Amino acid sequence: MTSIPTRKDILSASKIIEPYVHRTPVLSSENLNHLLDCQLFFKCENLQKAGAFKSRGAVNAVFTMDADLMKNGVATHSSGNHAAALSRAAKLRGIKAHIVMPENSSAVKIEAVKHYGGNITFCKSNLASREETLKLVLKHTNATEVHPYNNPTIISGQATAAKELCEDSGAFDIIMAPVGGGGLLSGTALAVNYFSPKTIVIAAEPEQADDAYQSFYQKKFIPSLNPDTIADGLRTSLGSLTFPIIQKYVNDIVTVSEVAIIRAMKLIWERMKIIVEPSSAVPLAAILENKFEYKNKKIGIIISGGNVDLDNLPW
Amino acid sequence: MTSIPTRKDILSASKIIEPYVHRTPVLSSENLNHLLDCQLFFKCENLQKAGAFKSRGAVNAVFTMDADLMKNGVATHSSGNHAAALSRAAKLRGIKAHIVMPENSSAVKIEAVKHYGGNITFCKSNLASREETLKLVLKHTNATEVHPYNNPTIISGQATAAKELCEDSGAFDIIMAPVGGGGLLSGTALAVNYFSPKTIVIAAEPEQADDAYQSFYQKKFIPSLNPDTIADGLRTSLGSLTFPIIQKYVNDIVTVSEVAIIRAMKLIWERMKIIVEPSSAVPLAAILENKFEYKNKKIGIIISGGNVDLDNLPW
C-alpha cells in the first residue's frame, strides 16, 4: 500500500471489514429537512460496533497486518473510541491490544476497553505522558503501534463509511464529516474522489479546536493548542499523512461555535431519535450557523459516534 | 375487511403504506447480547415517520377509507403519537384531521400535531371530556372517527412492523411487543401467526397499568383504572376488537416494574445509541426482570416509539 490509499485499497478494506462491522443505516427526517430547507442523509456510525466509525479502521489495520508484525499484539494511546475499537479488532483476530489511557478517562470508556479485553496502562493526561508511556509499552511488549489516524490502513477503513453512503443514497451535492486528527475526513474525501467525484466535501470543526481550519487555509501544519471544546473526539491535531490528503481532496473547512454544537446535538436526538456524541453534531452545527450554501442541496453527513455519558448531558 | 385482519389485509396494508413510511432498520448490539445471554433484534419504530409505529396504522386507515367517508376529514382523541400520525396521514391524502387533545398535553406533542397541520380542539384531561369533546367535533365537522387501536385497518397497519421484522431477520423463537390499547400487539400477533407461525408472541406491560395482563388471565375484559406508569403510551385499556385477537394469538403477557422500565430504557440508549420512549423499553424490562425463559433465545422486539422530552429524563 502506498501512503495515500488508492481506490483499490478502499475496495479491499470494504471486503476485509465486512464480516466484522455493521453496514450502518442511512437515516433521514422529513421534519428536519423541512426545518432546514435541504435534504439531509445521516450515515449512522453511532450505530457501528463499539459505537463509532473507529471500528472500520481498526479492523482493517489489524486484519491487513502481517502475521510477523502482529505476533506480539498491537498498541496505541487513546482515551476514546479508537481504544475500544482496536481492543475489539485485536480480540477478533486473537491477538493482544495494549492501550495507554489517561488516568482521567471516563469510566464508560475504560469499561468499554476492558469489555473487549484491552490491556490498559494508565498515564498522565497530557500528550508527553501518553507518548512516553506508549514508548515504554512498545519496548516491553514488542507490540506494533496502530496510530488512530496517521496510518493508511486506518484511513482506508474509515473511507468505507462514505463509500457505503454514496452507494446507498447516491448522487450527493455535498458530503460532510467532522475533523479531528483527520482519519475520517481524509478517508471520506478519498472515497468521494474515487466513487462520487462530482460531490463536494466540506469538513466542520469546532472554533475552539480549529487546527485543521488554520492548517488548511494557511497551507502549513498548525497544531491544536489547548483545544477547549465539548466535541472531545476533535481535540487532536492533523497528522503528516492526513493533512496532505485533506489539502488536496477537501473542498472547504468551516468552524462552528460550542453553542451551535450543543444545539445541533439536541436537534439530532430530538428529530432523528438517535444518540450522537458532540463530535457527530459538528457538521449539522455548520448548517445551523449558515456557514456554507446548503439550501436545497442534497447533503450526506457522517455521524461519527454515539458514546456519551447519559448522566452528564450538556443541556 | 372482516373484523379480524386476514393475511391478505396485512399484505395489502404493506403495499398501501410503503410509499409513505420508512421500512425501519433492525438493530442489534453484540454487547447487549453478551450481557443478557440471548440474541436480541430491535425493530426500530422510533425511527419511523413521526417517531412511532402509529404512522403505519394511520396511513393504512386513511388511505383505505372510502372517498365518501373521508370527504369531511378524520378525527380522533389522543394526547400522543396517534394524534401526530393521523394528522400526517390526513395531510398526505389532502384531507383534514381534527384532533381532540387534553389541555395538559406536552408542548412537544402539540407542536408535532400542528406541524402536520392537525386541527386541535383542547379538552379536559379525562376520558369523559375527551369522548364528549370528540362527539361534538364529529357532530360539527361530519368527519370520520379513526380510533387509535380498535379499528381493523389500524391493526393491519401496525402488523406490518412485525411482518418486516420476520422478513428481515427471520426465524425468531420469540417476538415481543408492549401492550397498551393492543393495536400494536394484536397486529404483531396476527403477523406472526400468518408469516412466522412457529414463533411465540410475548407481550410486556407495566405492573402499574396491568389491564391487559388481568384481562388475559381472567379471560374477561378488565379496564385500566388509574394507571400510574412512566410508560405513557401504555395507559389505555384494551378494545373490543384487540382483546379477542390477543386472547387467541398471544402466548403470554408479563408485567414489569417501573424501576425495570427506566433501567431498560437507559440500557437501550447506552448500548443501542437510539432514543426510545419508556413504553418501548417495557419488553426489555421483562428480560431484565427474568419474567420468562429468554436465555439463548433469538428474540425480536418491536421498539414502539421515540418521542420523549429530552429536558425531563427519568434518570
Q: Give the closest residue to A96 by CA, choosing from A88, A105, A106, A107.
A: A88
Section B6-21 average pLDDT: 98
Residue B104's pLDDT band (cuts 50, 70, 90): confident
How many residues in total does chain A contain?
Answer: 315
Section B159-183 average pLDDT: 97
Section B202-228 average pLDDT: 95
Dist. CA B207–CA B230, nearest whole Å: 11
Maximum distance among all Cα pairs of chain B, rounded to whole angstroms: 57
Q: By the CB < 8 Å criterion, does A311 face chain B?
A: yes
Q: Rounded mean pLDDT of chain A?
A: 95
Q: By the CB < 8 Å criterion, does B26 face chain A?
A: no
Dist. CA B270–CA B264, nearest whole Å: 10
Dist. CA B276–CA B268, nearest whole Å: 7
**Predicted confidence (pLDDT) per residue in A157-180, tens digit:** 999 999 999 999 989 999 999 999
Q: Rounded mean pLDDT of chain B?
A: 95
* Residue B181 near residue B158 (C-beta atoms within 8 A): no
Cβ contacts of residue B196 below 8 Å, gap of 6+? Answer: B166, B170, B171, B172, B175
Q: Is the pLDDT of residue A2 over 60?
A: no
> Which element (helix H / strand E) includes A76?
strand A74-77
Between strands A26-27 and A39-44, the pairing is antiparallel
C-alpha cell at position A112: 468499554
Section B203-232 average pLDDT: 95
**Side chain identity at residue B306, one-letter code:** G
Residue A79's pLDDT band (cuts 50, 70, 90): confident
**Adjacency order of strands within the sheet including A26-27:** A26-27, A39-44, A298-303, A174-178, A200-206, A252-256
Q: Is the pLDDT of residue A20 over 90?
A: yes
Q: By the CB < 8 Å criterion, does A269 face chain B?
A: yes
Radius of gyration of chain B (CA): 18
Taking an 8 Å cut-off on Cβ atoms, the answer to whether A310 and B306 are in contact is no
Taking an 8 Å cut-off on Cβ atoms, the answer to whether A273 and B115 are in contact is no
Q: Which of A3-12, B98-107, B153-162 has the lowest mean pLDDT?
A: B98-107
Residue A1's pLDDT band (cuts 50, 70, 90): very low
Considering only residues B225 and A120, tell me which one the structure prediction assigns the higher pLDDT: A120
CA A31 to chain centre: 27
C-alpha cell at position A250: 477537501
Helix A183-195 and helix A242-249: axis angle, to 10°? 40
Q: Give the closest residue to B245 by CA, choosing from B293, B304, B188, B205.
A: B188
How many residues in total does chain B contain?
Answer: 315
Q: Give the closest residue to A310 by CA, choosing from B93, B2, B257, B268.
A: B268
| Domains (range + CATH), chain B | 7-52+152-303 (3.40.50.1100), 55-145 (3.40.50.1100)
Dist. CA A252–CA A259, nearest whole Å: 22
Dist. CA A287–CA A283, nearest whole Å: 7
Nearest CB partner across the interface for A31, out of B31, B115, B315: B115
Q: Give the closest residue to A161 by CA, choosing from A198, A188, A190.
A: A188
Q: Is the pLDDT of residue B2 over 70?
A: no
Section A300-310 average pLDDT: 95
Q: Is the pLDDT of residue B1 over 50?
A: no
Number of Cβ within a 10 Å radius of residue A250:
23
Radius of gyration of chain A (CA): 18
**Predicted confidence (pLDDT) per residue in A120-156, tens digit:** 999 998 888 999 999 999 999 999 999 999 999 999 9
pTM of the model: 0.94
Dist. CA A65–CA A74, nearest whole Å: 10
Measure Cα distances from A99 to A73, A95, A281, A282, B152 in Å: 11, 13, 27, 27, 57
Chain A CB contacts of B310 under 8 Å are 266, 269-270, 313, 315
Considering only residues B155 and B1, tell me which one the structure prediction assigns the higher pLDDT: B155
Q: Give the closest residue to B144 by CA, choosing from B81, B86, B82.
A: B86
pLDDT value of position A298: 98
Model ipTM value? 0.91
Q: Is the pLDDT of residue A49 over 60?
A: yes
**Side chain identity at residue A206, one-letter code:** P
Q: By the CB < 8 Å criterion, does A26 face chain B?
A: no
- Best residue of B29, B273, B309 to probe chain A, by most A CBs closer than 10 Å: B273
Residue A224's pLDDT band (cuts 50, 70, 90): confident
Measure Cα distances from A70 to A61, A146, A181, B45, B87 in Å: 10, 10, 24, 43, 59
Q: By the CB < 8 Å criterion, does A115 face chain B?
A: yes
Section B269-275 average pLDDT: 96
Dist. CA A301–CA A307, nearest whole Å: 18
At residue A177, the 3 state secondary structure works out as strand
Section A269-274 average pLDDT: 96
